[in-house]
Structure 1
Amino acid sequence: MTRGSLRLRLSIAAAALVALALALGGVGLFLLFEAALDRRTADELNHTARLLAGGVGFDASGGITVDRPPADPRYATPYGGLYWQIESAEKEPLRSRSLWDQTIALPRSPDADMAHHATIDLEGFDGRPLIVVFRTVRIASAPNKPLVVITVAMDRGQLAASRGMVLWLLPASLAALGLLLALAMAAFVRRALSPFRTLRGELQRVHDGRDERLRGSYPSEVQPLVDDLNRLVAQQESALGRARTQAADMAHGLKTPLAVLDALARRIEERHPALSAEIDEQSLAMQEQVSRTIARARSATAAGLQKRSTPVAPVLGQLVAAMKSLPGSDRISWRVETSGHALYPASEGELLEMLGNLVDNARKWARTSVTISVVAKSGGGAISVEDDGPGMAAAEMAAIDRGRRWDEATPGTGFGLAITRDLAASTGARLRLSAAPSRGLRAGIEWGDG
């Protein structure tokens, strides 16, 4: 996943929300556990207080007695963590052995109007807090029905083990749950974005020319986008078709008038040589203008949405064979070198026009040899056409532009290189001119990442 990936953003957002929810949930669960632990402890202490209340009494001397003291050994161990105490007015308190020489001092003396039982926190021994439950009862069997206060307490340190276990288990459990939720969210995000992966694959098929429209079934949230893309593809193909048709119509429409002008120039050449030369010059200018306009139209329509690819070697073989049949080509030694299976990202017609311009230009200027090399590279390729002619100066190479002739002596020279450059640029390639080792001109077309 790349940095700008929607899947990465959604996964990070989901993971952050899961982590936040688990953190808040963990804090809430721990607070609930603390409250439940306090409530359970208070219930156990209250149960002990009721047990003591059922067995409390007075002996013959008026001292407080209890029939059934709690059996938990911590009540019998000095400072064992569990304590009970029974008090009555003007009576010596009865205490568990665990209190040793200490007493539990309530904030104020309870009376009969207080709640049946209450739970409070007190500062215990050595600064350790206590959770305390006390009950008030009247002993009906004793004279004057004295009020008795029964207090039961527990050192909160006794709860530390339970709290520590929760503090150890809860983060680990939440971390495991978070990992499972993160994996589930990642699978959910991947599943939710699967229509877009399908759409990308369909677009690649259209781009590669293997299909003309987006196919497949998409969710209702994505289908409008697919329909709009199909409409755009159809509109683009229609616009490109119209542009090609208009360019062809213009070429055919001007062909006849230009032929007529050439015929007129031939008819008046003997009687009016100057006028004939003027007509030839204007006719040639018109032909060049037509060539430039058609080249612009073709280069503008070459970069359609559908990607095309054409093997270079067969097209080059046909072109060289045609060049060898032209007059004067027998003086030229043709050498073609190919490496790998190079595919040019354009239609066969576009590739043929570009190579035709370069090879024909090399044929016209070559003295004895033309060398053509084709190299297939990773993700692209390169085509080089070299001749052993007079070559071009660096300023002339830089000055070549659409519609500008750099030589008036050789027929056809002028727009070929500019047209090739425009067509190459429209297909994502680059035209490079440089000096060949034989001091002639090297014209190369490079495309792709290689």
Structure 2
Amino acid sequence: MSRHSLRLRLVLAASGLVALALLLAGFGLVFIFDRILDRRTADDLDRTARYLTGQVRLSPSGSLSLPAEPADPRFATPYGGLYWQIAAPGGAELRSRSLWDAKLSLPVPEAGSASRRLDLAGPDGQRLIAVIRLFALERAGGDVPIAVAVALDRRELAGSRAEFVRLIVPSLGALGLVLALAMWVFVERALRPFHALRDDLRAIREGRRATLPENVPDEVRPLVDGLNQLIEAQDKALARARMQAGDMAHGLKTPLAVLAALARRVVGERPEISGAIDEQVLLMGRQVERSLARARVAAARALGRRSCPVAPVAERLVGALRRLPEADSLRWEVVIPASVAYPAEEGDVTEMLGNLLDNARKWAHRRVRIAAEHRAGRSILTVEDDGPGMSEAAIARIGRGRRWDESVPGTGFGLAIAADIAEETGATLDLGRSPLGGLKVELSWRDVRADTDA
């Protein structure tokens, strides 16, 4: 796909949005997991704090005791990551063995708060998540406020978080692949009307349709309506151009015929003037014919250009040429597959091929061959004869629209007209030496079948 492709732009835009959405979703899920993990950890710590609250005792002397400590072995391992601490007014204090010689710096609990979750600095540079509970023990002379704190090293939670990230990354990657596939299907379905429009336009260019179908989505309908209006306008312009070309041909033929008649009238009195006039009339007629052919073919290069099978036209022309003087002795060979078609109107194909065959007839000694084939996505048509052929200088003159040889009437103009029609219809015409010994004309154009199957 090129960088100007609408499909590529849609795919890149959708891929970027999907990637951004997955990235934000990943951060959001990790954030939510952290919050849930903190809450569940705080709930576990709060249950341990409740247990300690039920076990702590205060002696008459004001010292604290704990008949039964929590069973978790981490409380007994120095710097084991799980800690508890109980404090009372006057400096009375109990700590888990895991704190060893360290001490938690506990803030004063807010009055009336049953529990409070917060972050604390722990021993050995640890960062702790802690839950503090405040309760009162009965004692003669009044209740004594007791603070119980249970804390856990956050590195204990980091492992769970890392495991969650290891699971969520491939999961989001798989989700991204599924979304990419769904996005591709969506883009293809969204562009399907444009694919159908492309095929319909190709059918119009090949003459298989006259207009675009109107059963299209509402978003594409304005484009289809505009193209149908353009096709209609071009059809009208083509009809006007053909009519004007015909009018011009009739308008020019009459003055040229008058000049030719005048030249014949003065042939006895001034033969040199008569011959010059006759030659100029002939040149003007051929140039007019060439210009009209170019104008007609150029006008036909509209959206409704049709393709014409070559074999029937060639057979018809060969049959007509056989009846001409000196042509019945020629050996005509026609090898053209029925699948070969030329992208132009039948009249244009007839004029172009007729000029090529007529030129071959004029110069051939005994043999004329016309063949066609499909080659590498192109159609190749060759017209060959066993005549004298042409020099490179003569081929160059033909390219400039001049006559080849004055000894044969009209020679060169037919080839120039054929070259003009080929150029206007997107084909190429090359002249060279034939294996038969004479001129080889090779006409090449993009295979119409290849257009249809594309």
User: What amino acid sits opposite 2:43 in the alignment?
Assistant: D
User: What amino acid sits opposite 1:435 in the alignment?
Assistant: R
The worse-fitting range, judged by mean Cα deviation, of 303-312 and 314-323 is 303-312
Counterpart mapping for 1:145-160 below 5 A: 145-160=143-158
CA RMSD of aligned residues (A): 2.8
Paired residue for 1:374?
Answer: 372
> Per the alignment, in what secondary structure is the counterpart of residue 143 of structure 1?
coil
CA contact (8 A) 1:269 1:276 kept: yes
Separation (CA, whole Å) in 2 of partners of 1:105 and 1:379 = 85
Paired residue for 1:73?
Answer: 72
Separation (CA, whole Å) in 1 of partners of 2:348 and 2:140 = 120
Out of 295, 316, 328, the residue aligned to residue 297 of structure 1 is: 295
Shift of 1:196: 1.0
> Per the alignment, in what secondary structure is the counterpart of residue 386 of structure 1?
strand
The worse-fitting range, judged by mean Cα deviation, of 239-248 and 404-413 is 404-413
Shift of 1:40: 2.9
The CA deviation string for residues 65-122 of structure 1, in whole angstroms up to 9 with x for no partner, is 457x5755347643554332222234542334x53744532156x3776966443333
User: What amino acid sits opposite 2:126 in the alignment?
Assistant: R
The CA deviation string for residues 347-391 of structure 1, in whole angstroms up to 9 with x for no partner, is 221111111111111111223322222223343322222223222
User: What amino acid sits opposite 1:206 in the alignment?
Assistant: I
The CA deviation string for residues 255-276 of structure 1, in whole angstroms up to 9 with x for no partner, is 3333333334334433453443
Separation (CA, whole Å) in 1 of partners of 2:42 and 2:136 = 22
Separation (CA, whole Å) in 2 of partners of 1:270 and 1:445 = 46
Paired residue for 2:242?
Answer: 244
Which consecutive unaligned segments of at least 5 residues does structure 1 have? none
Separation (CA, whole Å) in 2 of partners of 1:29 and 1:17 = 18
Counterpart mapping for 1:167-316 below 5 A: 167-316=165-314
CA contact (8 A) 2:127 2:153 kept: yes
1:420 aligns with 2:418: yes
Counterpart mapping for 1:284-433 below 5 A: 284-338=282-336, 341-433=339-431
Q: Figure out how many residues of one structure are paired with residues of the other and give that number.
A: 447
> Per the alignment, in what secondary structure is the counterpart of residue 291 of structure 1?
helix
The worse-fitting range, judged by mean Cα deviation, of 287-296 and 347-356 is 287-296
1:163 aligns with 2:161: yes
Counterpart mapping for 1:117-128 below 5 A: 117-128=115-126
Shift of 1:326: 0.5
Paired residue for 1:104?
Answer: 103
Separation (CA, whole Å) in 2 of partners of 1:278 and 1:100 = 126
CA contact (8 A) 1:45 1:152 kept: yes
User: What amino acid sits opposite 1:13 in the alignment?
Assistant: A
The CA deviation string for residues 177-222 of structure 1, in whole angstroms up to 9 with x for no partner, is 2222222222222222222112112112212211111103223322
CA contact (8 A) 1:85 1:151 kept: yes
The worse-fitting range, judged by mean Cα deviation, of 228-237 and 153-162 is 153-162
Shift of 1:398: 1.4
Shift of 1:165: 3.0
User: Compared with structure 1, are the counterparts of its residues 77 and 361 closer, same or farther at alpha carbon in structure 2 (3 Å cutoff)?
Assistant: same
CA contact (8 A) 2:332 2:368 kept: yes
Which consecutive unaligned segments of at least 5 residues does structure 2 have? none
The worse-fitting range, judged by mean Cα deviation, of 401-410 and 47-56 is 47-56
The worse-fitting range, judged by mean Cα deviation, of 43-52 and 172-181 is 43-52
Separation (CA, whole Å) in 2 of partners of 1:91 and 1:383 = 111
Paired residue for 1:19?
Answer: 19
Separation (CA, whole Å) in 2 of partners of 1:111 and 1:253 = 113
User: Compared with structure 1, are the counterparts of its residues 396 and 137 closer, same or farther at alpha carbon in structure 2 (3 Å cutoff)?
Assistant: same
Shift of 1:229: 1.0
CA contact (8 A) 2:7 2:187 kept: yes
The worse-fitting range, judged by mean Cα deviation, of 44-53 and 9-18 is 44-53
User: Compared with structure 1, are the counterparts of its residues 211 and 32 closer, same or farther at alpha carbon in structure 2 (3 Å cutoff)?
Assistant: same
Separation (CA, whole Å) in 1 of partners of 2:202 and 2:434 = 39
Paired residue for 2:33?
Answer: 33
CA contact (8 A) 2:429 2:444 kept: yes
The CA deviation string for residues 210-260 of structure 1, in whole angstroms up to 9 with x for no partner, is 111110322332211111111111111211221111111121233333333
CA contact (8 A) 1:111 1:147 kept: no
> Per the alignment, in what secondary structure is the counterpart of residue 44 of structure 1?
helix
Separation (CA, whole Å) in 1 of partners of 2:238 and 2:367 = 40
Separation (CA, whole Å) in 2 of partners of 1:111 and 1:182 = 53
User: What amino acid sits opposite 2:322 in the alignment?
Assistant: K
Paired residue for 1:8?
Answer: 8
User: Compared with structure 1, are the counterparts of its residues 358 and 141 closer, same or farther at alpha carbon in structure 2 (3 Å cutoff)?
Assistant: same
CA contact (8 A) 2:403 2:410 kept: no
Shift of 1:408: 2.2
Separation (CA, whole Å) in 1 of partners of 2:140 and 2:55 = 13
CA contact (8 A) 1:130 1:155 kept: yes
User: What amino acid sits opposite 2:291 in the alignment?
Assistant: T
The CA deviation string for residues 308-364 of structure 1, in whole angstroms up to 9 with x for no partner, is 222222211111111111112234332333457322222221111111111111111
> Per the alignment, in what secondary structure is the counterpart of residue 106 of structure 1?
coil
The CA deviation string for residues 111-162 of structure 1, in whole angstroms up to 9 with x for no partner, is 7769664433334344433222223444343435433222211232432443
Paired residue for 1:45?
Answer: 45
User: Compared with structure 1, are the counterparts of its residues 276 and 395 closer, same or farther at alpha carbon in structure 2 (3 Å cutoff)?
Assistant: closer
The worse-fitting range, judged by mean Cα deviation, of 346-355 and 398-407 is 398-407
User: What amino acid sits opposite 2:120 in the alignment?
Assistant: L
